[in-house]
Chains A and B, each alone.
Chain A
């Protein structure tokens, strides 16, 4: 009895793990008719999620969807793609953030043939900027799905009460923020992202409008130029002087948007693709009081960024690439792009922007601001390097120094050295 029990237990201990492994293997083998799609939490994702049953019916394929927050998505890719995993077929990624690094590491499949094979789907219809951002060494590695420009969100009622018109220049914006914050003790004149890394993308439009940039054509750091220093001082100064009380240096868009939509700020500069958050009556206390305007002009004019914020790519390790392409082709078709755009997601297709139905759901002032920014915009909102995360931390340093009332010019000089050192090794 004793002997038998030892043997029985051993048998169970040895067989169980293998049994479990065998089950996993069987599941993998069946997966060819299933497209595994990983998407970020976004308004675009909400729309596509609702439409997936249509795709499944048309194609006969099954879609297995994983949805994650931006940071978690990025971490998941780092783990899975690094391990060469084939668990992801279609991946939603940020061409300007991870695009270069992913393409360089050969994580993204070459889609050049796919995009040029179907004239009805029409790759030429995609705007030039987004296409450039999704191309690496002359190979198309992604299809853009969402575009963004920075615009000015403002409170119509507060401006009216103060007898002010919508600011068109940086000076007017500062003067208006000052007046409104002085007139209303519980309302900040201005709010925007404050976290060192998160703020970089929104700060970029200020930088360009002051005549600066992160680096020049030869790859040299330019964040300590007089223009850049003026931009740092202006952006940080607005938040330091007229920002929310106890302004933190941790705010990304959800926190800054919350302050604006709770009615605690007069002006807010942010991506246009997030406008639904401000206009949603269930989430926003000021839904019917929000106005939109083109990005205010600095000494170099109004130069907001105009970028593709998200794209769809195919994991190069996936064994299901043809079906993955079918999903991308459907999700980025003219019809789906129009639907997404009508639901509030600015898309990358020229034909959809040309179609009056494409902007029929947008507030008139926002549509005008978008049209203006699309014409004057700059094609990047962060340094175009491989290790973008590290670069953002370095160039973001003077922003938080300025927000906390420190010497941002000195911080820019220090960061400039660090950034140049980084650029020399970012290969």
Chain B
């Protein structure tokens, strides 16, 4: 009995297994992607939908406390807030554009310098990449000490040259530029890295041909290298702009909640964080985050369209 049942069962199992394998092989693209998709669903889509839901309620104090559905009330409140929200939008744009432009220009200059092999090249590359490996909070703390108005090294150094002490992070007008400087210090190396990768993959023939035709260095850069490098530049702009838009650690580590006593470095991220963690205004905070999300999506859409156009 047993033997016969086994002999009957075996072919069925093999058949089933082979049928499943066939199915699995046929759909392997989806099967392999499914764990990642589940995680993306849980970790990205769910929080986003939850934030969207919260933004439509008057949730405050505790997320678990009962809250009422108020439609777009929070959005109206936020969009008509000219004391904190719109200045924060302005600061976010100022921070992103300034940091991005300087990082791209300086990054391109450094990448061009490192493009051709030279003695000690390895050491220079390691030194340039060092800021990248530091945690942004640690970077913020380090610069906070350096820029301390009374005991910091920056003002001591200025003193050696007879230049009066500067308020740096403590000044209302100087705080944001100082944090932009920190961002530039930390992230220009990443731009260098991307551009250098692009430069080394360029064909040398075009440059040689331009050289033979008598083009000078500027002309070769603007009319040969830069157009060929356009796609790489756009990738660098895309990556850096997303990062710069959502900068938080450096600002929080140097100026704390609210972006300083006068909100001098309060960007949209810092504002939303304060609304959640200091004010416990979860509905309002979620509305700010959804608006911020839409701004980023819009920005990326414009950039990627440009990129497609270029291609």
Contact = CB atoms under 8 A, between A and B. Distances in A.
B21 A17 contact: no
Contact of A71 (B61, B155, B165, B256): B256
Interface in A227-276: 244-250, 252, 258-259, 262, 264
A346 interface: no
A82 B64 contact: yes
B260 A250 contact: yes
A132 interface: no
B35 A245 contact: no
Given A6-B25, A10-B31, A105 B261 contact: no
Most A CB contacts (10 A, CB to CB) among B20, B65, B165, B170 go to: B170
Contacts of B18: 3
A246 to B, nearest CB: 4
Interface in A82-127: 82-84, 101, 104-105, 107
Interface residues of B, number: 37
B167 A246 contact: yes
A338 interface: no
Contact of A195 (B31, B64, B261, B279): B261
B276 A78 contact: yes
A12 to B, nearest CB: 10
A246 B258 contact: no
A396 interface: yes
B21 A3 contact: yes
Interface in B211-264: 255-258, 260-262
Contacts of A390: 278-279
B25 A249 contact: no
A204 interface: no
Nearest to A188: B150
A172 interface: no
B280 A246 contact: no
Given A6-B25, A390-B279, A246 B149 contact: yes
A366 interface: no
Given A195-B256, A249-B260, A250-B255, A14 B35 contact: yes
B67 to A, nearest CB: 12
A387 interface: yes
Contact of B261 (A3, A104, A196, A387): A196
A228 B35 CA distance: 61
Contact of A249 (B61, B65, B261): B261
Contacts of B165: 245-246
Nearest to A389: B278
B64 A84 contact: yes
A71 B257 contact: yes
A7 B24 contact: yes
Interface string B10-30: 000000001011101100100
Interface string A280-295: 0000000000000000
A250 B169 contact: yes
B35 A13 contact: yes
Contacts of B278: 389-390, 393
A36 to B, nearest CB: 20
B127 interface: no
A6 B28 CA distance: 8
B63 interface: yes
9 contacts: A13-B35, A71-B257, A75-B277, A81-B62, A82-B63, A101-B61, A105-B64, A244-B150, A250-B260
- 9 pairs of A and B residues whose beta carbons are closest in the complex: A248-B170, A246-B149, A249-B261, A196-B261, A389-B278, A105-B62, A3-B21, A400-B261, A390-B279
Interface of B: 18, 20-22, 24-25, 28, 31-32, 35, 60-65, 149-151, 155, 165, 167, 169-170, 172, 255-258, 260-262, 276-280
Given A6-B21, A81-B62, A82-B63, 8 more contacts: A2-B25, A78-B280, A249-B170, A264-B150, A390-B278, A393-B278, A396-B261, A400-B262
